A and B are shown apart, each in its own frame.
Chain A
Amino acid sequence: MNWQPPGNSPEPVPAVPLGPSDILGAGAESQPRRRLARGAVMAVPVLLLGAGVAASLTLAGGSTASASSPDGAVRALLDAAQHGDLLGVLGTLEPSERDALESGISRTADQLERLQVLSQDTDLSNISGINLGFSDIKTSTTYLTPQRAAVTITSGTATSHVDPSRLPLGSFTRSVAGSALAHAKPISSSTGATTGDNAIVAVQENGGWYVSLGYTAAEDLARSAGQSAPPAGTSVPAVGSATPDDAIRALVHSATDLDLAGVVKLTPPEEMAALHDYAPLFLAKADKAVSDVRSKLSIAVTRLDLADVADGSGAELVTIKGVAFHATYEQYTVTYDGSCLTVSDAGNPSNDQHLCPTGSGLDSMLSSLPAPLQPLVNDLRGIHPQEGLVAVQENGQWYFDPVRTVFTDIDNFLGALSLKDMNDIQSLVQQSRSGSLSFGSGG
């Protein structure tokens, strides 16, 4: 058939695949049929466009759908875990907590691969050698607040299968573990999957429910101490700073004042929401515990030189380039001017000390170590990982982020290690295992 699209002709109607007499008839009775045919022709593109737009809207609408209930969030987490689906696991976690963990875990895994602790083909989204399974899971939900719920797994079965030979371990780990790992047999187990008195806490955000690791830890700690969640409105308020440096300066001052509530206030209100909400449970006790020390200790930071480095995940690593302080505790006075430490004892001035670490002093310390350790310690002395405190921005304000700080410092420390360092450690372990390691002084 010579199908001709309607728009190809100067006259749109004649090309409709109907008989010309059906459409082009000049009689009055052909008018309705012509309209009908024209409508039929136009219906096709309209239907096409409608279907396309409907598909776009459906796909976009379903894209951000998270769990619709606390129980659904926990089940989604278990389901993703038993399929080894890291992407699915990440999608079930509370977004700000997930962001803090995600980049840290990924970067640390990269470093461990480089150092051959993990194998080069480690795939975090499909970890070989470990299989988990959950079946017949039954849950019970208790709403702690309208936006927070404790989900208890009341019954179910958890199965696991671990095959050490298939774990993604690198040559360093396999060498250090030796025959213990080489001859290890696969282990399978099946146990009840109940959470007992503990619970997995889910929180509601943007209409969806997510599992919160922070709230889960906080709630379980509270339960183990026989306490229940603090009532709404008792949270420790967050106090942000205008710059990353200001956030870290405020942290240093709160820490030196032993002001625990002050430290909590400086942490990010979303990522560390659980800490802010549950802090009232422990702050009073902790404050009482340090009050005795606080009454005797006084620390004044007289100089604090900071430098910022973007840590690659939207946060800032604030490194301490220089510090000087003056501290007093009972009759003791400690002064550090940035290079030397002076300790004074008002009760017994003969105990006064002035310490200035020098290269030769460190060399003599190194030479006093057992000979086999000296090369390794000497190498480690030469590494200068970029350690510091991480500040993160939330709602336009900067806060100290303890989780990112731990991950970033671990990552930077691992990044400063070389394969030679790992080989030295490996060699030490092997010498120790064979009994050839001697701890006589290196002289």
Chain B
Amino acid sequence: MNPAAGTARAKLPDWLCSGAAALACLIDAFAPWMRSGSVERDGYQLLASGQRAGLLTGTGARLLTVAAYLLPSLAAATLAAVYLARPTAARTLAGVTGALLVTASALAATKVQSGLLLGPFLGLGLGSVTVGLAVARSVTTRSHR
């Protein structure tokens, strides 16, 4: 068996688990999240409108807002970690990205009383899967050691 090919195959799940999952989380943030009247907003437009409308008050909401704006940086860092073959860093960053998306989606689902679209529901699923995969991969890696 070609060891190099085996290594490449072993790397494939990391790429899927971390990079693709983080990217999917980022893409979901730009999916339609809410309809108000005849206007549809993606996650960031909803966040911006919520800020302008004074709906995001309190320390938790403000921290989450800052964290949400870090999502593209986190996703990019995850991809960079995957590229540099730093699986632990990639898993950690992807896990944080997923956890952020889950929290933001849950906040949207509780704060927005009506007009929710696909984004937050997809976010809850995608984020949970990303966190789950990151944790599962970490556990598997430790048990192999």
Contacts and interface: CB of A to CB of B under 8 A. Distances in A.
A434 interface: no
Contact of A8 (B7, B65, B75): B7
Interface residues of B, number: 45
Contacts of A4: 4, 7-8, 85
A183 to B, nearest CB: 28
A98 B44 CA distance: 21
B38 interface: yes
A84 B37 contact: yes
B-side interface mostly: helix
Interface stretch (B66-74, B102-110, B118-126, B131-139): B66-74
Interface in B56-92: 57, 65-66, 69-77, 79-86
A385 to B, nearest CB: 24
A84 to B, nearest CB: 3
Nearest to A208: B52
Given A49-B80, A63-B44, A91 B49 contact: yes
Given A52-B75, A63-B69, A123 B114 contact: yes
Contacts of B66: 60
Interface string A1-33: 011111110000000000000000000000000
A102 interface: yes
A87 B75 contact: no
B115 interface: yes
B46 to A, nearest CB: 8
A228 interface: no
Nearest to A8: B85
Contacts of A56: 69-73
B1 interface: no
B50 interface: yes
B83 A44 contact: yes
A86 B113 CA distance: 12
Interface of B: 4-5, 7-8, 11, 34-39, 41, 44, 47-55, 57, 65-66, 69-77, 79-86, 113-115
